[in-house]
Amino acid sequence: MNAALIAGLRAQCGGPRDGALLRFSLGNALLADGQPAEAAAELRRALDFDAGYSAAWKLLGKACLAMDDHAGAAAAWRRGIAVASQRGDKQAEKEMSVFLRRLERE
């Protein structure tokens, strides 16, 4: 199922529907499939489309953490917290703050 979803999403990349949401969805599917490096690359592409996409920052942090890139995860969450704060996205800001605190305690 996930392989079919990933293939379907990849088929749309570069087309008229390519954008932050498509790349976020692909990154999410790749992360769920155990491919964190590929997920991180797609999430960075999502952020190229929309640097204010707080959910993409949150998931990028999770992908970095899955690759044992603690510095990358912390950087993604810090940026995501700033973006979420600017946009008034209190829930995302709170979640990333919790993730960051947990990471810093390790």
Q: Quick one: pLDDT at residue 106?
A: 85
In tens, the pLDDT along 10-65 reads 999 999 999 999 999 999 999 999 999 999 999 999 999 999 999 999 999 999 99
Which residue ranges make up each domain of the chain? Answer: 2-105
- Domain spanning 2-105, CATH class: mainly alpha
For 84, residues 6+ apart whose C-beta sits below 8 A from its C-beta are: 54, 57, 90, 92, 93, 96
Rounded Cα distance between 101 and 78, Å, is 11
Kindly report, residue by residue over 57-96, the tens digit of the pLDDT.
Answer: 999 999 999 999 999 999 999 999 999 999 999 999 999 9
